[in-house]
Amino acid sequence: MPEKMEGALTGYRVLDLADIKGTYCTKMIADMGAEVIKIENPDGDPTRNIPPFAGDIPHSEKSLYFLYRNANKQGITLNLETSDGRTIFKKLIEGADVLVETYSPGYMKSIGLDYEVLKEINPELIMASITDFGQTGPYKDWKGSDIVAYCMSGAMISSGYPEGSPCRLPGTPAYDSAAMSAAISITLSLFHRGTTGKGQYIDVSVHENARMGLYPWLLPMYSYNVNPGSPPPGPEGRLGTALYPIYPCKDGKVRVVALTPRQWDALVKILGEPEVLMLPEWREFYYRIGNADAIYAIIIGFTMEYTMVELLEAGHREGVPIVPIYDIKGFVDSPHTKAREFFTEIDHPVAGKYQTPCPPYKWTETSCQINEPAPCLGQHNENIYCDELGYSKDDLSALRRAGVI
């Protein structure tokens, strides 16, 4: 077997105490080759219970959310609520570069494992805390969730149809945008540490990061007073379908984005230059937005003549961006997805073989791939506790019986 090419972050060790808020952060770092050790309570990380499951039957090794977001990581169990557990954790901190945790503000301090304590053990440690509302401030003890942060960020009031109830972006986008900020600030700290030798404590609030992560334009658009008094289009209207209209076609739906007059002309050409679309005022973007319903009713009659791929290719040829609205299968089957080899096969001891998405990059010098499946609960206990920290197998049994691991 050829030796695995190293990743850009190979050589760093990351301790991962993250739940759903931070699991994407440590995934990003693991995919770059860092050694990420996921530390779970002996009864398992709560994200193991997130449906759906492989085979559709709940099983702690088969949550698709867990499997996807924990590939490339190692897994150990450790109960930080026990004194022995904390002693072991401190030993792990000695050899770690990064710690990511997502407990409520104050919890790590309450068990004696806050940054002030840990940096005494390892002054170069970079510790990132991801919480719903941040470590300090009036909302710090509030309860959050992905949908709550999505709502408060300004993204929700802009999502969905104008007349209907707002509709969130699928997945856990607010948590993931905070996770990305954490991954950025951790990597920046590693780079900085390379010249200064300094560790770092990083406080990431999902509430605050969702705004910059998803819709940073909301605030400036309001502040610039884009539409004094009236539409179209206000930054907070739910105008997705007016700005970026969706049309049915022969075998599905397409989305068309004509922003400039030239792109509009190209669209009209593709649709056979019907007279009804040739009115000069239609060339004006904001006029079309203001008359979105009327233009929609006209265009829909023409798009039905073509297939998704015909429109995609004609759009490219004539100079107006048109794309198919793929469902999950459509994206997997797309020739572009296949050509880029975005999916790779993973073999998991319990869930079996499956295709998993790779990171969204190709690198020339370093590896950025999915190499290992998500760890089973406690899978790497022996590797870490015996091979590295010097515990015997008997010690492990005793620790297990005592509920420490």
Partner 1 sequence: MTNYPLDGIRVVNFGTGVVIPDFGKILGEFGADVIKIESGENLDFMRTIGSDINNSPGFNESNRNKRSFGVDLNTDKGKELVRDLIKTADIVGENFRGGVVKNLGFGYERVRELKPDIIYISSQGFGAGGPYSDFKAYGPMLAAASGVLSLWAHPDDEYPAGASFPHPDHIASKQAVFAVLAALDYRRRTGKGQFIDMSQIEAAASLIGEAYLDYSINQHVQQPQGNRSPYAAPHGCYRCKGTDQWCAISVFTSKQWISFCNALEKPEWIEDPKFADTVSRLKHIDELEKHIEEWTQQHEPEVVMQTLQAVGVPAGIAQRAVDTIADPQLKWSNATVEVDHPVAGKRLYPNLPWKMSDMEFCESTPPPLLGEHTEEICREILNLSDDEIEQLKQEKIMEIPLLEEGEE
Min dist CB 347 to partner 1, Å, is 12
Q: Give the containing element (helix H, strand E) for 343.
A: strand 343-348
Residues 6+ apart with CB under 8 A from 164: 238
Q: Where in 121-140 is the site for partner 1 (CB under 8 A)? A: 132-140
Chain CA centroid to CA 134, Å: 19
| Helix (H) or strand (E) run with residue 335 in it | helix 335-339
Task: Give me the phi and psi of 67, to 5 degrees please.
Answer: -60, -45
Interacting positions 146-185 with partner 1 (CB under 8 A) = 147-161, 164-173, 176-177, 180-185
Write out the binding residues for partner 1, residues 17-36 only, by CB under 8 A: 24, 28, 32
Q: How far is the CB of 243 from partner 1 (least distance, A)?
A: 6
Q: Minimum CB separation from partner 1 for residue 12, in Å?
A: 9
CA distance 125 to 115: 9
Site for partner 1 in 48-107 (CB under 8 A): 49-52, 54-56, 64-65, 67-69
Hey, what are 100's tokens? Answer: 């990511």
Say how many C-beta atoms besides its own lie within 10 A of residue 373's C-beta. Answer: 23
Which CB atom, from 74 or from 158, has the smaller least distance to partner 1?
158
Q: Interface residues for partner 1 in 246-275 (CB under 8 A)?
A: 246, 253-255, 257, 259-260
Q: DSSP character for 41?
A: -
How would you classify the pairing of strands 252-256 and 322-324? Answer: antiparallel
SS3 assignment, position 53: strand
Minimum separation from the CB atom of position 387 to partner 1 (A): 25
202 is a site residue for partner 1 (CB under 8 A): yes
CB closer to partner 1 out of 294 and 363:
363
User: Do the beta carbons of residue 12 and residue 373 sit within 8 Å?
Assistant: no
Smallest gap, in angstroms, from Cβ of residue 63 to partner 1? 8
Among 22, 44, 105, 213, binds partner 1 (CB under 8 A): 213
Per CB under 8 A, the list member of 361, 390, 394, 401 interacting with partner 1 is 361
Looking at the Cβ atoms of 204 and 404, the one nearer to partner 1 is 204
